[in-house]
Amino acid sequence: MVTHMRTLRISLTLLMTSSILAMLPFASSSVQADVFTYSQVSIGPRSACAVTSQGAGVCWGDNSERYLVSDQPAGTLTTPSPVVLPNNEKFASVSVGGMRGACALAVSGHAYCWGEHHIGSYFTPTSRTPVQVEFPNDMRVVSVQSGSSVACATNADGELWCWGDAQFIGDGGTESLRVPVLVPMPDFGKVVQYDLGEPNICVVTDRDHLYCWGYNNSGELALGHTSTPRNITSYTPTEIVPPSGVIFASVSVGQGRVCAISQTGNGYCWGSNYDGSFGDGSYISSSRPVAMSVPNNETLQQISTANYHTCVLTTTAKTWCFGTGGNGQLGTGTTLGGKTYRTPLVPSGTTFTSIGTGAGTCALDTNGDVWCWGALNWASTSNGDLVTRNSPARILAIGSPTVSNAPSTEIDTTVARVNGRVNPNGYATSVVLEYGTSPLFTAPMSRTVTASLADLS
């Protein structure tokens, strides 16, 4: 049994038979418990990973050939399982892409990748465990992302470095690369934000330009074609021309679709409007940026688009999703989808600070809890079958249980009551309290008390 992520109060009563206990102080320790929280989550088309506030990395989802978590069985991982970086480096962030690949940024500034593609190492094309990306001169980076068949990273100078399949790298080359290469921006600007999708990469520079490259099968490059030729590939950054007076500030890339937020907080999408995933109130695709129709003209804080659905966070802490809902990825408790803005069903008072879309949807709240819905968050049926959740549920914690004792205890002539908190941090199901009595007693005792956390909840 996996204990749900929560802090549990314990009040274990120790029965003492000697009345001398009342005259002796009962030793009590006070230890600050590690409160288990997450700091970041990433969801892809097959799997998801998250980083804890202590710098640990965990992943779940498709573990085919053990490319996601090497020490776990091949198949589907339904609960978070630890991924360890070389030299026990701490995670700063993690990114899940396609091709059963993932990349992580360590606190040290090193980037690591693992999976069956775009590892970033010349002599290691695939790896079940994280491998350090080989940047020139041991360069450190400040971000890293894993895409479908390419990965990219930025350094402190705002340079973008990419590696993987040629059509997605962006340097104009026609050969795939195992190690990173610098991708120059046409405006010579610094990259301030970027996103890797299924067929495309898009970046925003500090000179207020948005560039994309890769496929244009659905109009992702916003070239404005209303008919052929549309199926072209750009090997270098192509500027996305915004509507008059609009400056893009951030971008999200899905499969056949790109969405962006302007500096004034308005949303735009172009490419494939499959099942109403533009959020403009229609099902009409476009090869030019189309303004979203956000309820009450709310200002957007973040947007994330995936294969067939899109989710947004507003500056007033609202969350909406739209597009395909067949796997519960809109979080409404149903499989309803389409162009209508729908609010995920979360407990009152839950506020998300970031959201990501992929096979399903995952979000991080202000308490450091990760919530996921749709694919990659499962529930068990009465006969043991796994089904995806149609409404948000917390992702279970993982880690070593910790205990925080109160600075004092309650003692009378026959009872010692020790108050404390237990944070199960994952798989703990019981707590054991060991105690001994003073050797001054005529009959010293040493006892162990075991209590189920389920009984204490």
Residues 6+ apart with CB under 8 A from 296: none
Domains and CATH numbers, the chain: 8-34+401-456 (no CATH), 38-394 (2.130.10.30)
Residues 6+ apart with CB under 8 A from 245: none
**Residue 453 DSSP symbol:** H
Is pTM beyond 0.85? Reply is no
Are 438 and 16 a contacting pair, CB within 8 Å? no
How much is the pLDDT for 342?
A: 98
Q: Which amino acid is at 291?
A: A
- Beta bridge partners, 322, equal 310
CA distances, 295 to each of 250, 321, 341 (Å): 20, 12, 8
Residue 15 tokens read as 């029965």
Q: Which amino acid is at 378?
A: W
Are 402 and 34 a contacting pair, CB within 8 Å? yes
- Mapped onto helix, strand or coil, the DSSP state of residue 285 is coil
- Mapped onto helix, strand or coil, the DSSP state of residue 346 is coil
57-62/76-83 β-pairing:
antiparallel
How much is the pLDDT for 17?
A: 33
111-115/127-132 β-pairing:
antiparallel
d(Cα 453, Cα 449) in Å, to the nearest integer? 13
d(Cα 106, Cα 94) in Å, to the nearest integer? 9
DSSP 432-451: EEEEE--TTSSS--EEEEEE
- Beta bridge partners, 311, equal 304, 321
Q: Which amino acid is at 33?
A: A
Those residues of the chain that have pLDDT short of 70 are 1-35, 225-230, 379-386, 397-457
